[in-house]
Structure 1
Amino acid sequence: MAKRALTVDDSKTMRDMVAFTLKGAGFDVLEAEDGVHALSVLKGQTVDVVITDINMPNMDGVSLVKELRAKPEFKSTPILILTTEGGDDKKASGRAAGATGWIVKPFAPDKLLSVVNKVCP
């Protein structure tokens, strides 16, 4: 059975790039445009990995990570932050929220897959 990923980004182009990369590696991919939409998409769903941007309207990525970590079914789900933000303070807030890893945009597809496969064997 294929692994499932959720990609969360307010940029449709970025969601498409991540989805294209993951689908090429055999993943089923769900998409959401912000944290609020992501929580709605995940109702009754399970995923093997979540990849989220930080800067989004309605609910940002760090808040989404905190919300997911508060739910028993997502306690151990790998959550990767994919963002243009590379500052140590942002990384620290992501880690404190419960993020598994951090990838800076623009990303190389092979690097994304390498990180995803590492956290989601």
Structure 2
Amino acid sequence: MKSCLVVDDSKVIRKVARRILEELGFEVIEAVDGKDALETCERTMPDAVLLDWNMPVMDGLEYLKAVRALEGVEQPVVVFCTTENDMSHIRTAIEAGANEYIMKPFDREIIEAKFSQVGLL
């Protein structure tokens, strides 16, 4: 079973994402911010990361740069999931190593389509 780390400071978003991802056959791990997510990845690297941008402690972009800098690990597929929808944010995320980008609010169809595009489904 593939694993997905859901990183978002909103408990509601984590709960909704968990339900969708579990229906799609993923084991779901949750993190409340980038620092928590990075610590989780250092213990066990997930197959995928659904990542919010705006979070306290360490934001999504800082987390993405840190996880992409880890050596000797199999890198996860990272899908940003955020309200930041201007092209400069999307470009910045892709340049930093994001595989895909989802706008909030999202639903099962959107997650299923994006996860299929990056080979997770």
Deviation at 1:74, TM superposition (A): 4.5
5+ long unaligned stretches in structure 1: none
In the alignment, which residue of structure 2 is the partner of 1:66? 65
CA distance in 2, matches of 1:88, 1:114: 20
The percent of aligned pairs where both chains have the same amino acid is 34
Which amino acid counterpart does residue 97 of structure 1 have in structure 2? A
CA contact (8 A) 1:68 1:74 kept: no
CA distance in 2, matches of 1:118, 1:3: 16
In the alignment, which residue of structure 2 is the partner of 1:84? 83
Count of matched residue pairs: 119
CA distance in 1, matches of 2:117, 2:93: 18
| Runs of 4+ displaced beyond 2 Å | none
Q: TM-score, normalized by length of structure 2?
A: 0.93
RMSD: 1.1
1:1-121 alignment runs, 5 A limit: 2-72=1-71, 73-75=73-75, 77-119=76-118, 120-121=120-121
